[in-house]
């Protein structure tokens, strides 16, 4: 029997152990979900009955937010001062889904101008069946609700597979859902660290939808596994999100916002700012303001309220960050991080300090490969046109931001940038009422907002002719 051990990023010591799903267990797990789905159609046939479960679930989630916050901090290392906020934000996101669910899932009747005498035409939204949700560790509750809430509101069963780094998220979710009245096995969790077993799960004929959030490599593996099937596969993958600082900005404000967008959660966000292009006329001033902002940060034990930055998630993450810095310096970049600000942690975990890099260019890995760490690489540009060309010089296309007092010009420029979300004077914020989607290698499909329900339902068209009017 295979086991999975969660290593604490705070101490680098074993923290939790879980039993892994085996290939031989897949038919039983999926079979229980299929049976539960069919029973769920009978026991909770109305949207209102399912909404009541979700409302109760969200209430229970808020009641446990402090306990959940501690789990997140211990398992993935985000400072405790922030982790309860993730739970609150996840609940707000889910509440938006609840609010719009009546409209999203309602039957659509053909308009009068398209009517036919004696014929009733309409479209119903019907659950797919069994949804498989595989999700990442960096914002586990925020990511989970994106697939979980629409799936259950639409009447699906769901199997949730958390990252081995944050296993208790899935366990807590299922426990609270059942406490809220969800019938047993409508939501199940599994633990697995073997990609080949997940791929076997994907090809099981009783899996009707796959939602995956994680790396590009992992997403492509899921897509390949599903290649001979016609099921929906929704992928939320990586990013190398650019920011462009125009010459007309409020430099101090912009520096503070960009540092936050780059290093919050130790840079471990798919939509973190990972490359910064600054107009030459404000470049030097901007770099000095970034230095000032960094002096207000600290790094340390994330279990303490005063800590602003914790560790990255693993030794591999530490090494990737250091390798990108070394590569950049070797190719001409300069490290301009203020000295003496970040003290070396004595905890023994995976701590790496933010680094400010100037003189960067696209020959450097730090400007082309995803970092997922607290780096701020800056490249000087001479024009809007140069900035847009460089912003698009990437395989990724998740978000992009332009910082400017000229809002109209910033919006005009962002239309030329290949990214699923365009920000003006903000970053790193997936709005619950907007579509969240990646272009290029950042993914396919949509989560969140009015457009994020594709993994929750399929449509059936009804064309009903009334007896007695046959020609």
User: Where do the structural domains in the chain lie, given as residue ranges?
Assistant: 3-237+442-462, 241-424
pTM: 0.96
How confident is the model at residue 359, as a pLDDT?
98
Q: Are β-strands 439-440 and 396-397 bridged in parallel, bridged antiparallel, or unpaired?
A: antiparallel
Query: Of 133, 316, 158, 157, whose CA–CA distance to 213 is shortest?
Result: 133
Enter the tokens of residue 200.
Answer: 């076997």
* Rounded distance between C-alpha atoms, residue 190 and residue 2, angstroms: 13
* Rounded distance between C-alpha atoms, residue 21 and residue 2, angstroms: 8
Query: Of 165, 164, 179, 173, whose CA–CA distance to 144 is shortest?
Result: 173
Ranges of residues in the chain with a pLDDT under 70 are 344-345, 468-471
Query: Of 320, 318, 354, whose CA–CA distance to 335 is shortest?
Result: 354
Architecture of domain 3-237+442-462: 3-Layer(aba) Sandwich (3.40)
Length of the chain, in residues? 471
Q: In what order do the strands lie in the sheet with 108-109?
A: 108-109, 119-127, 457-465
**Number of Cβ atoms within 10 Å of the Cβ of 146:** 27
How confident is the model at residue 345, as a pLDDT?
67
* Rounded distance between C-alpha atoms, residue 447 and residue 430, angstroms: 10
* Rounded distance between C-alpha atoms, residue 160 and residue 152, angstroms: 12
Question: Is the CB of residue 88 less than 8 Å from the CB of residue 19?
Answer: no
* Rounded distance between C-alpha atoms, residue 213 and residue 42, angstroms: 31
Cross-strand partners of 122: 109, 462
How confident is the model at residue 343, as a pLDDT?
76
How confident is the model at residue 111, as a pLDDT?
86
The secondary structure of the chain in percent helix, strand, coil, rounded to multiples of 5, reads: 40, 20, 40
* Contact partners, residue 349, CB within 8 Å, separation at least 6: 8, 9, 10, 11, 12, 77, 311
> 3-state DSSP call for residue 192?
coil
* Run of H or E including 30: helix 26-43
* Contact partners, residue 325, CB within 8 Å, separation at least 6: 335, 355, 357, 366, 375
Q: What residue has token string 């009707």?
A: 208
Question: Is the CB of residue 84 less than 8 Å from the CB of residue 65?
Answer: yes
Q: Are β-strands 399-403 and 421-424 bridged in parallel, bridged antiparallel, or unpaired?
A: parallel
236 in active site: yes
* Residue of 74, 86, 236, 274 marked active site: 236
CATH topology of domain 241-424: Aldehyde Dehydrogenase; Chain A, domain 2 (3.40.309)
pLDDT tens-digit profile of 18-59?
999 999 999 999 999 999 999 999 999 999 999 999 999 999
> 3-state DSSP call for residue 293?
helix
Enter the tokens of residue 453.
Answer: 């329900």
How confident is the model at residue 340, as a pLDDT?
82
State phi, psi for 260 to the nearest 5 degrees. Answer: -60, -45
* Rounded distance between C-alpha atoms, residue 134 and residue 162, angstroms: 6
Question: Is the CB of residue 294 less than 8 Å from the CB of residue 262?
Answer: no
Q: Are β-strands 233-236 and 443-444 bridged in parallel, bridged antiparallel, or unpaired?
A: antiparallel
Question: Is the CB of residue 68 less than 8 Å from the CB of residue 87?
Answer: yes
């Amino acid at each position: 029997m295979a086991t999975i051990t969660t290593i604490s990023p705070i101490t680098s010591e074993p923290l939790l152990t879980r039993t892994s799903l085996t290939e031989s267990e897949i038919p039983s797990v999926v079979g229980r979900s299929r049976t539960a789905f069919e029973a769920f159609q009978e026991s909770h046939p109305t949207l209102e009955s399912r909404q009541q479960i979700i409302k109760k679930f969200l209430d229970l989630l808020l009641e446990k937010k402090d306990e959940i916050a501690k789990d997140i901090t211990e398992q993935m290392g985000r400072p405790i001062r922030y982790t309860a906020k993730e739970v609150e934000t996840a609940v707000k996101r889910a509440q938006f889904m609840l609010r719009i669910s009546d409209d999203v899932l309602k039957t659509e009747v053909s308009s009068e101008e398209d009517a036919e005498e004696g014929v009733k035409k309409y479209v119903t939204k019907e659950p797919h069946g069994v949804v498989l949700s595989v999700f990442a560790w960096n914002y586990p509750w925020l990511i989970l609700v994106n697939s979980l809430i629409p799936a259950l509101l639409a009447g699906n069963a769901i199997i949730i597979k958390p990252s081995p780094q944050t296993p208790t998220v899935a366990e807590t979710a299922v426990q609270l859902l059942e406490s809220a009245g969800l019938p047993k096995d409508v939501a199940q969790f599994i633990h697995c660290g073997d990609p080949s077993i997940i791929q076997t799960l994907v090809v099981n004929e009783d899996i009707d939808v796959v939602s995956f959030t994680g790396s590009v490599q992992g997403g492509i593996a899921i897509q390949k596994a599903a290649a001979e099937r016609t099921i929906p596969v929704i992928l939320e993958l990586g990013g190398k999100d650019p920011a462009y600082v125009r010459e007309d900005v409020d430099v101090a404000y912009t520096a503070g916002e960009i540092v936050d967008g780059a290093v919050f959660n130790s840079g471990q966000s798919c939509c973190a700012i990972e490359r910064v292009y600054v107009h030459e006329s404000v470049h030097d001033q901007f770099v000095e303001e970034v230095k000032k902002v960094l002096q207000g940060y600290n790094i340390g034990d994330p279990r303490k309220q005063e800590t602003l930055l914790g560790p990255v998630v693993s030794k591999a993450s530490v090494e990737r960050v250091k390798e990108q810095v070394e590569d950049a310096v070797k190719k001409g970049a300069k490290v301009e991080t203020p000295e003496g600000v970040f003290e070396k942690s004595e905890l023994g975990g995976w701590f790496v300090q933010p680094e400010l890099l100037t003189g960067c260019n696209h020959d450097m890995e730090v400007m082309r490969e995803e970092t997922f760490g607290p780096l701020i690489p800056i490249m000087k540009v001479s024009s809007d046109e140069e900035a847009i060309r460089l912003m698009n010089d990437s395989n990724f296309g998740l978000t992009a931001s332009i910082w400017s007092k000229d809002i109209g010009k910033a919006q005009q420029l962002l239309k030329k940038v290949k990214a699923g979300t365009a920000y003006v004077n903000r970053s790193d914020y997936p709005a619950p009422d907007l579509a969240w989607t990646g272009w290029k290698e950042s993914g396919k499909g949509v989560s969140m907002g009015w457009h994020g329900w594709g993994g929750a339902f399929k449509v059936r068209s009804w064309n009903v002719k009334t007896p007695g009017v046959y020609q």
